[in-house]
Chains A and B, each alone.
Chain A
Amino acid sequence: MSLRSPLGLAKGLGSAKEGLHHWWAQRVTAIALIPLTVLFAFQVALLSMSDYKTVIECIGSPWSAALIVSLIVAAFYHAALGMQVIYEDYIGHKAVRIGAIMATNLLLFLLGAAGVIAVVRIALGG
């Protein structure tokens, strides 16, 4: 018995075979984000009353900066994958859907790049 719909058979289009990578990358980034977000949240909480110099030194110390850059990369990748699924579920119009996914990817990339540049500058004391 075939589970393919009559429409699917008629159009002859099947899976693009790329779904697994999307699904898997979403899980890998999710697992990475568990410790990274908790660490960062408590780090920022502990620094909430500190002066500029203390915050710069703490956030910019090598391990801290490496962890925050990892957090940014994982978080924005995770966000892009998640937003794509939301658009795919709710936007029926193909061109609008593709446009929304593309615009979101570009915007999240820009934000992620800005975050990384900021952390690098803090770490290198520019």
Chain B
Amino acid sequence: MNSNNRPLSPHLDIYKLPLSALLSIVHRGTGAFLSIGSIVLVWWLMALAGGEEAFVSAQAFMGSFFGRLILLGWSFALFFHLANGIRHLIWDAGYGFDKAVVEKSSLVVLAAAVFLTASVWVTALLFATGA
């Protein structure tokens, strides 16, 4: 089909992505990452169901540097996807489309993701029972 007169997408090699566009593709990226990362959740629950020995070795791995690195990335991806997902639900309801509002809500999403990630890690490192 001849489509010469159709509008062109931005030329991604030379186009500077606005923050909202960057967050949009990161939303998709974190979604795919969390789908794969769900293996970690199931693996942890399976270890817990498998008895004390399996659970202790799973906890040891999670507590190691590499394990914590995975969990840090995992938790930030989760909270980013959560915060940006709430923004998507607000957009779905028809609100917040003005350019200035979108720029502001992008920053709110990033701040919320950092705040929630930090909160859960502070909880784990300082307030965990039996620490």
Contact = CB atoms under 8 A, between A and B. Distances in A.
Given A54-B130, A83-B35, 8 more contacts: A34-B85, A41-B75, A44-B124, A47-B128, A50-B128, A114-B45, A118-B42, A118-B45
27 contacts: A6-B1, A7-B1, A27-B89, A31-B89, A38-B116, A41-B75, A41-B79, A41-B120, A45-B121, A45-B123, A45-B128, A46-B124, A48-B63, A49-B124, A49-B130, A51-B130, A68-B45, A75-B41, A79-B35, A79-B38, A82-B31, A83-B31, A83-B32, A108-B38, A114-B42, A118-B45, A122-B45
A41 B75 CA distance: 8
B42 A111 contact: yes
Nearest to B63: A48
Interface size class of B (residues with CB under 8 A): 35 or more
A37 interface: yes
A27 B92 contact: yes
Interface size class of A (residues with CB under 8 A): 35 or more
A38 B116 CA distance: 9
Contacts of A86: 28, 31-32
The interface residues of chain A, by DSSP majority, are classed as: helix
Nearest to B125: A48
Contact of A49 (B46, B121, B129): B129
A88 to B, nearest CB: 12
A42 B131 CA distance: 15
Interface string A86-114: 10000000000000000010001001101
B124 A45 contact: yes
Given A41-B78, A46-B123, A5 B45 contact: no
A96 to B, nearest CB: 17
B41 A115 contact: yes
Contact of B82 (A27, A34, A51): A34
Contact of B123 (A42, A54, A59, A119): A42
